[in-house]
Each structure stands twice: as structure tokens, then as C-alpha cells.
Amino acid sequence: MLNLLRGHRPLRLGALLAPGALWMLLFFNLPLVIVLFISLVERGRAGGIKLPPVFTFGNYGQFFDALYLGIFASSVRIGLIVTVICVFLGYPLAFFITRRHPRWRDTLLLLVMIPFWTNFLVRTYALKQVLGADGIVNSILLNFGLISRPLDLLFNEFAVIVGLVYGYLPFAILPMYASIEKFDFTLMEAAADLGANLRRAFLRVMLPMTLPGVVAAFVLVFVPVVGAFITPDIMGGGKVEMIGTLINRQFGTARNWPFGSAISLVLMALVLVGVIAYFRSGAAERERRAL
């Protein structure tokens, strides 16, 4: 087959690209166009859209209602809290792993990644057991007499944040690990030698040099967390509304597909802006270094 194609460069390239391109076209671009289309027409009474379609921008307008903007704002707030916690927990962990003997490093990285291979739903339900009224945390606190009745650890924002941090911590650790692993620790000795204590050596030398990893961690955690819906749904028990649960509800009980589509696209546009900003900053960083 490949031999047949030799000498026909455009043909060969086409043959190699076609399956993937077709797949993307059919299962990614086309659905996206459908979503865009649905977001621009009026809703049907029992879900779906009104037939024949009636064109409108109203679905986008609806989003700017104080209620939905509030949900959006609280999603961004939860997203920021989770991301900051992940970065602050992940950086020291990533640092710790890079400083281990190579023999241990792979094992530790494996431990970080193992949760990835477990079903996300199962993990979230397991966490729910930990935080529940008769869960491990409350049982221990009760048994030691530290509290007299179970704490409300579940079905609130706290539970959602715990769940999201748990789920997305590996996404923070891995890029930061990659950055810290490349860092030459002689530079820390050089900084100490020149009179910098550990805090200043970190802030002036190590942090700036490992910043690309921190930024990557930030994007990799923040983007999916803002749009998350399984965790807020299970851990929040319907009491914590995030943009993901809102979208989910539009396609479910609210039966408002056009509105759900509109929110999805707004979220996507915002994520895109964020990612472009990230790559710009990355490009700027590379440029600065090349100078």
C-alpha cells in the first residue's frame, strides 16, 4: 500500500490524513455546528427544538440574567479556589518527588497517576463515603470526642471543592513535576552562596524558572473544573450549582436544549480565550528566553 503511494506525495498525505480528518469532521465539528445551530433557535416544548426552527439570539440573552451570571461567577470562584489549592498542594509534592532517588521517582509518579485509571464516578462516590455523616472523618472525630454530633461535610460547597481538588490534583502535579525536574538545583546553591535565604532563593530563582509548569497546571486544572458537573452534582447533592450542572440540567429536567447549547458555547469561548492567553504567555516566555 505504502509502496504504491510512493512518489505521489499529495496522494500519500491525503490517504494518511483522510481517516482522522473524516472522524473529526463527523464526530467533532458536525456536532459542534449542530450545537451552534440549536443555540440560535427557539426551544421545543418537550425538549429538542421548535419545528420548524425559529431563529433567535434570545438564548444568549437569557444567560445575562443575574441568576445565571451568579452561577457563572460562583463557578469561576470555585474554579479559582480549587486551582489555587491544587497548585499549592501540588508544587511541594512535585518538588518532593523530583528530589527522590530515580528508583523511587517512578513509583511515586505512578501513585499520583493511579487514580486516573480508576473510574471517576466510583472515586467520587468513595469520597462521598469518607465525608458522609457516618463516614470515616466524622467517625474518627466522634470517637475521639472532638465533636458531639457529625459535621456537615457533604452536600455543600466544601464537599464540592474537596472532590474537585481530589480529582484534579494529578493534573497540577504532573506539569509542575516536569518543570521542576528540569530545574538545575545548582542555581539554588548559587543563590544561597550570593546571600539569598531559602525563601528569597525560591522566589527569585526557582519559582520564576519553574513558572511555565505552574501556568500549565493552572490551565489544566482551571479549565475542566469550571465546567465540571459530575463532582458538583454528587458532592453538592443538588445544592451547589455550577455552570456544568446548569448545562446538564438544560438537557435534562429543564428541557431547554437551546439555552444549554448557548451556555456551552459561551463557556467554550471563555476557555478558548484563556488557553490562547496561556499560549501567548508561553510564546512570550520562549521569546524572552531566546533573546
Partner 1 sequence: MPEFAVELRNVSKRFPGPSGEEVSAVKNVTMQIRDGEFFSMLGPSGCGKTTSLRMIAGFELPTQGEVYIHGKPLGQTPPFKRPVNTVFQSYALFPHMTIGENVAFGLEMKGAPKSEIGPRVKQALEMVRLPGYEKRRPRQMSGGQQQRVALARALVNRPEVLLLDEPLGALDLKLRKEMQLELKTLQREVGITFIYVTHDQEEALTMSDRIAVMNHGRVLQIGSPIEIYEEPNSRFVADFIGETNFIEGTVLSVDSGTAEFEADGLRFKAGVEAGVTRGSRATLAVRPERIRLSHAPPQETLNAFAGVVYESVYIGTDTHYRVRLSPTVSVRIRQQNTVPVGMPALEGPVGVKVWVSWPPENGRVLAE
Footprint of partner 1 (CB under 8 A)? 184, 186-187, 189-197, 200-201, 204-205, 208-209, 289, 291
Q: Which is nearer to partner 1, 50 or 204 (CB)?
A: 204
Which triple of cell numbers denotes residue 30? 458536525
Neighbouring-strand partners of residue 41: 55
The per-residue DSSP string of 13-68 comes to HHHHHHHHHHHHIIIIIHHHHHHHHHHTBPBPTTSSB-SS--B-SHHHHHHTSHHH
| Distance of closest approach, residue 107 Cβ to partner 1, in angstroms | 17
| Distance of closest approach, residue 199 Cβ to partner 1, in angstroms | 11
For 29, half-sphere exposure in the C-beta direction (CA atoms, 13 angstrom radius) is 7
| Distance of closest approach, residue 174 Cβ to partner 1, in angstroms | 22
Q: Which is nearer to partner 1, 148 or 197 (CB)?
A: 197
CA distance 139 to 153: 12
Q: Which is nearer to partner 1, 134 or 287 (CB)?
A: 287
| Distance of closest approach, residue 180 Cβ to partner 1, in angstroms | 15
Q: Which is nearer to partner 1, 111 or 190 (CB)?
A: 190
Q: Which is nearer to partner 1, 119 or 186 (CB)?
A: 186
| Distance of closest approach, residue 290 Cβ to partner 1, in angstroms | 8
Q: Which is nearer to partner 1, 15 or 211 (CB)?
A: 211
CA distance 242 to 225: 10
Please enumerate in sequence order all residues whose Cβ is within 8 A of that of 248, keeping only pairs 6 or more positions apart, or say none: 229, 233, 260
The enclosing H or E element of 239 equals none
The angle subtended at Cα 287 by Cα 286 and Cα 288, nearest 5°, is 90
How large is the C-alpha radius of gyration of the chain? 24
| Distance of closest approach, residue 214 Cβ to partner 1, in angstroms | 14
CA distance 89 to 1: 52
| Distance of closest approach, residue 104 Cβ to partner 1, in angstroms | 13
Q: Which is nearer to partner 1, 9 or 289 (CB)?
A: 289
According to DSSP H, which parts of 99-226 are helical? 102-113, 120-131, 136-143, 157-182, 186-193, 198-201, 207-226
Give the position of cell 456551552: 264
